[in-house]
Structure 1
Amino acid sequence: MTALPPLVDPAPSLGNDEVARYSRHLVLPDIGLDGQRRLKAARVLVIGAGGLGSPVLLYLAAAGVGTLGIVEFDVVEESNLQRQIIHGQSDIGRSKGASARDAIAEVNPHVEVELHEHALTREDAVELFGRYDLVLDGTDNFATRYLVNDAAVLAGVPYVWGSIFRFEGQVSVFWEDAPDGRGLNYRDLYPQAPPAGSVPSCAEGGVLGMLCGTVGSIMATEAVKLITGTGDPLLGRVLLYDALRMSVRTVEVRKDPSAAPITGLVDYEAFCGAPVPEPAAAPDTLSPTALRDRLAAPEPPVLVDVREPVEWDIAHIDGATLIPVGDIESGSGIDRVPRDRPAVLYCKTGIRSARALRALRDAGFTDVRHLDGGIAAWTREIDPSLPVY
C-alpha cells in the first residue's frame, strides 16, 4: 500500500461539538484528530449536483470537509429523484445548487458551501480550480470531462473522476503532478473521445439509481484518502464496478510517453465531435407540428420509432412501427422500412434518429426525415397525455 502525503494542512483545532460529531472518525487510527482537522481545512470542488454529485456532496459534508464548492446550473426535475438523493419532491423546479446547499446545511452546519451556478467553461475553469485543493467530477458528457481534466492539469490540482452507465461504474484518481511520480490524467486512459452519438446518455440508456450511491461513495472515499494522506488512492488504477455481477476489479493505467503535453484549453465541443444543433427548418428534420399535420394528411408518412422496446412500452406515438436504431445500422431492420413512401424517424430527443437517418441515407433512402427533439418534444408540444421519462 502506497500512501501519498496529506493534500491539506490541518486546521488549528476542532470545537467540542465537532469532536462529538466526528467521534467515529477520531477513533480511527488512520484518520484521528489530525486527519479530521485536515478535512476541516479542505476546500473541495464538486462538478455537478446530480447522480454522482448527490452522494459525494452528502458524504463529504457529513465527513466534515470544511468548504464544498458546487458547479451546477441546472434545475431539479422529477426524473432526477430516482437517483439524485440530495434533492426531494419539494425541490422540483428549484436550482440544483441551492437545493444541494440546503441539504448540506441539514447534514452538517459546519460546512461552508460556495455555489457556482453556471456552466463550466474554458474561460474560467483553471482559475476556479486553483481556488480549491481537490476536484471531483461526476459529469455525464465527454466535453466536460476533457475540460475538467485539462483544467486540473493546468491548475496543478488532483481530481477524482467517476462515471456510470446502466449497471456499471468506473472510478479513478488523476493527478499530473503527483508527488510519487504516478502522474496521470484522463487522456492517458481515454486519449480520444468516442464518436459523437456513439455512447448513449443516461437519459437514453438508463442508469440504476443505487449505482450512483455506490460509485459516488467510492469517489468520496478517494477524496478523504487524498486529503488526509490515508491508504492507497486509485492513482494509476481504474476501479470497474458491475452491479449485475456484483463484481469489482481494478486495472492499471500507465502514462502515455508519446502524448502531447497539455498547455492550454481547447474547444471541447469540437474535440468531442458534438453535433451542431440544426435549425427547426433544416431539410432533414420535421418539427412536432409539421409531423402532426403530415400524419393527418390523406397519405401520411411511415412513422418509425428507433428506440428500444422498453422505451416503446413506456410511451410511443400512435401509428408508429418499432425498429431499433441498432437494427437499422446493422442492416437487419432496413427492409422493414418501405422505400415507396416517405418515412419519418423519431427517438427520445433526436440523437439516435439522426444516426438512423444517416444509415438509411447510406442505404439509398431519399425521402426520409426525423423528428426534431424526438418524442420528448412531441409530448411537450402535441400530446401531453404521454408520460415523460
Structure 2
Amino acid sequence: MSEAPWLTVVGLGEDGPQGLAAASRKALENAEIVMGSARHLGLLPDLAAERVTWPVPFADGLPRLLELRGRAVAVLASGDPFWFGAGSVIARHLDCGEWCALPGPSTFTLAAARLGWPLETTLTLGLHAAPLTRLRPHLVSGQRLVVLLRNGAAVTELADWLAQTGFGDTHMHVMEALGGPRERVRSGMAAALGFKDIGHPVCVGLDIAGSGLSLPRVSGLPDAIFENDGQITKRPVRALTLSTLAPRPGEHLWDIGGGSGSIAIEWLLSHPATGATTIEPRPDRAARIRANADALGVDRLRIITGSAPESLSGLKSPDAVFVGGGLSQDLLTWLNDHLPTGTRLVANAVTLESEALLIHWQARLGGDLLRIELAQAAPLGARTGWKSAYPVVQWSVTL
C-alpha cells in the first residue's frame, strides 16, 4: 500500500476547473496523468499532465488505471463521484490508502437548486445503464424524483413510457449540462414533451401525476399485475407468506418453484437492498418470470431454469427460502443438510401428500404449521354464497 494516495478522484462540474475548490485545482495541477472521459478532458485548460481518455465501456478503463499505480493520477468524474458516479467502482479495486476523493456539487444538488425541491423528500435514481422500469415502484401521484439518464433519446423514451404506463400527466423538467455555460432547463408534460434537441449530460425532474396503477407498499399485490398461467400464489396467501418470510434489507431469498415469480418479485419490492434467486423448471414460466420482474422494476431478480435440489448447489447462500412448487422429501432433506443455521424456511402445500410431508418435517424440526382456508363471495343461483378455495398448509421454521 502507498504511504500517500497516488490516485485522486476529482468531481468536475460543467464549468470546468473554475468551479472547483482549491484542493481539487491543486490535485489537477500536481497530477502526472489526468484520466477521464473525452467530455471531461475537454473542459480542462492546458495542463502539464498527460491526458488519457477513459474508454467505453467504463470497465475497460480499470485495467489501464491500475497500470498507473504509484504515479500521481487524477481521475475526472461528474460532480459527486459517490452518488451514482464512478467513485465506488474505482474504490472497490483499490486499497483504502491508495486513493482520495474531492467531490464537487452533484447533479442532484444542482437540480434541487433549480427546481426548489427538498432533496430529503425527493427520490434520486441513476438510470444511465439501467432500464426505465426501475421507476415502476415509484410511480405514485405526488412523488418527486430526479433521474440521471444516458442521453436525450432516453428522455424521449422515458416520456413515452410514462404515457404508456398511465402517467402521461407527469410534469417533466429536462435539465441539460447543469452548472455550465450550456445549461438549459425546459419543462413539459410527459404525454406531449416534444423536445427534439436534448443534449448530454442530462437529468430529469419528475413530478408524478396520472391515473396509472400505483403499486401498493404492503405485501399482496393484485394477482392481475402478474402475467401467469394460473400457477401463482394468490394474493391473500402471498401476503401471509411474505409476512412469514419477513424480508429485511440486504437479505437474499431462494424462491423454489417460481411459477409467475410473484413471491420473489414482492420480496425484492420490499427494499432495494434485497436480493432473490428463483428456480423454475419450465422454460416458458421462467421467461414469464423474467417479463414480470422487468416490468415491475426488479430486473435484479436472478432466474435459474432447472429443478431443485439439483440446481441449488453453488448458488449464493440464502437468508430465507420459500418452497412453492416441487415440494418433496429429497428437497427438504437437501435444504436441511445444506442450509446454514438461522435460515428461515417457508413451504406451502395444497395436496394431501404434500401436507403429510410438512406435518412429518414439523414433527422432526419444529416450527409452526398454519392452515389457511379462504372463501370468496360468488354468485349462487340468483343469490350469493361462499366459494371456498383449496386450503393451504404452511410450515415455517428457522433451521
Q: TM-score, normalised by structure 1?
A: 0.30
Q: Which structure: greater helix fraction?
A: 1
Q: Which structure: greater strand fraction?
A: 2
| Structure (1 or 2) with the larger CA radius of gyration | 2
Higher RCO structure (Cα 8 Å, ≥6 apart): 1
